[in-house]
Amino acid sequence: MNFELSEIQQQIQQTFKDFVDRRVMPNAQAIDENHEFPRELFKEVGDLGFFGMRYSEADGGTNMDIVSYTLAVIELSRGSLSLAAACTMQSLMATYFLNRLGDAEVKSYFSAALKGDMVGGICMTEPNAGSDLFGIQSKAQVLEDGFILEGQKTWVTSAPVADFFTVLAKTDTAEGLSIFFVPAKLEGVKVGKTIEKLGVRGSVTSEVFFDNVKLPKNYLLGKLGDGTKYLSEILAEIRIMTAALAIGVATAAYEDALQYAKARKQFGQPIYKFQAVKMKFAEMAVQLETSKLYTLYAASLSDNNKSRKKEAMIAKLYASECANSICDNASRVLASYGYANDYPLQRYLRDARFTLIGGGTSEILKINIAKELEQ
């Protein structure tokens, strides 16, 4: 076993760390307060090559391993989980199917998205279908020359600013779900109002309506009914990525609290000197280090083409639960200042909740981990 990062992996980590310290940290509070998609920073992340890290050079990417990608996501999330959530969505779920299954026309959107010139969204969730993806009602009618899409999606990340969507829908001719490419400008595509939410407020989210939307044949991605098969190809990576998002925000909370505890004096000494406070840091450090190590382990299994389905779920479940515990403990260390809007800790606390939901809730992950153990 090798626990050392390669020189390239260290360089990538450092590049994103420097970018986040210089460009993201000073703007993170405003991104949250304005509830606004951080378009300028999103484009800068594109210029850094982040959106193409997981794609081959022939496809316009940089062909980086998942460990490197994970390190970059941790750094972005340390700066702003809003920005990191929007960027990870763009770099994986919003673009993967276009590249894997699209023709030249579809891939022209993919190329623009890799540079951050276009924004994509993935439409799976519906008002009555969240964890239960097979419960979706959106339907594409199969015609001779294409499809007619009808349906309603919700909680679509980046939808208010999106140029295109990847949509999961049923059809009358296939049993399973199918994947469709849908440019936002098509007639009948309507983006609903932005959902006001507790955290990741700069990662804008909304409903999307498809009303009698005519799609040409080439907008079906892959084969009819094979949607979940294609989705399963990236499920582990989605979970590793969500674990990385959790680790990033937890790192920010931990570092802020540590700095504060060493500077803040009560009863004549820094509060870090009190055993009750020190114990919190020991707990936080254990949770943070083990989350990081296990998530990088799951990522390295993936890089080495080893089975990692269970490990990716464990990483996501563990890192997201630990991140919420770390943010809670960090907030207690800052006490009233952890409750003040002028300090970022309240943002970390709110943002971290997202990692308990995206990529599968803790309950669903536990059920699926247990299923793996049965085999």
- Under the rule (CB under 6 A), what is the footprint of ligand FAD? 89, 121-125, 130-131, 155-157, 200, 205, 354, 357-358, 361, 363-364, 367
150 touches 123 (CB < 8 A)? no
Q: Which is nearer to ligand FAD, 15 or 325 (CB)?
A: 325
Q: Which is nearer to ligand FAD, 250 or 333 (CB)?
A: 250
The DSSP element (H or E) to which 145 belongs, if any, is none
Which residue type does 289 have?
E
What secondary structure does DSSP assign to 298-348, as a single string? HHHHHHTT---HHHHHHHHHHHHHHHHHHHHHHHHHHGGGGS-TTSTHHHH
Phi and psi, residue 195, nearest 5°: -80, 120
Residue 200 beta carbon to ligand FAD: minimum distance, rounded to whole angstroms = 5
Q: Which is nearer to ligand FAD, 74 or 245 (CB)?
A: 245
Query: What does the alpha-carbon distance between residue 26 and residue 31 come to, in Å, rounded to a whole number?
Result: 10
Q: Which is nearer to ligand FAD, 219 or 354 (CB)?
A: 354
Query: What does the alpha-carbon distance between residue 50 and residue 236 come to, in Å, rounded to a whole number?
Result: 19
Query: What does the alpha-carbon distance between residue 183 and residue 189 come to, in Å, rounded to a whole number?
Result: 8
Q: Classify 184 as helix, strand or coil.
A: coil
Residue 283 beta carbon to ligand FAD: minimum distance, rounded to whole angstroms = 25
Q: Which is nearer to ligand FAD, 130 or 188 (CB)?
A: 130
Residue 153 beta carbon to ligand FAD: minimum distance, rounded to whole angstroms = 6
Which residue type does 235 have?
L
Q: Which is nearer to ligand FAD, 131 or 232 (CB)?
A: 131
Residue 11 beta carbon to ligand FAD: minimum distance, rounded to whole angstroms = 31
Residue 152 beta carbon to ligand FAD: minimum distance, rounded to whole angstroms = 12
Residue 256 beta carbon to ligand FAD: minimum distance, rounded to whole angstroms = 23
Residue 365 CB contacts under 8 Å (≥ 6 apart), including other chains: 239, 313, 316, 317
What secondary structure does DSSP assign to 35-76, as a single string? T---HHHHHHHHHTTGGGTTS-GGGTS----HHHHHHHHHHH
Residue 255 beta carbon to ligand FAD: minimum distance, rounded to whole angstroms = 24
99 touches 110 (CB < 8 A)? yes
Q: Which is nearer to ligand FAD, 162 or 296 (CB)?
A: 162
Q: Which is nearer to ligand FAD, 3 or 134 (CB)?
A: 134
Which residue number has the CB closest to ligand FAD? 130
Q: Which is nearer to ligand FAD, 229 or 265 (CB)?
A: 229
Residue 300 beta carbon to ligand FAD: minimum distance, rounded to whole angstroms = 26
125 touches 56 (CB < 8 A)? no
Cα separations in angstroms, 108 against 113, 145, 215? 9, 22, 17
Residue 362 beta carbon to ligand FAD: minimum distance, rounded to whole angstroms = 7
Q: Which is nearer to ligand FAD, 211 or 363 (CB)?
A: 363
Cα separations in angstroms, 246 against 16, 321, 350? 17, 9, 12
Residue 195 beta carbon to ligand FAD: minimum distance, rounded to whole angstroms = 8
Query: What does the alpha-carbon distance between residue 41 and residue 186 come to, in Å, rounded to a whole number?
Result: 27
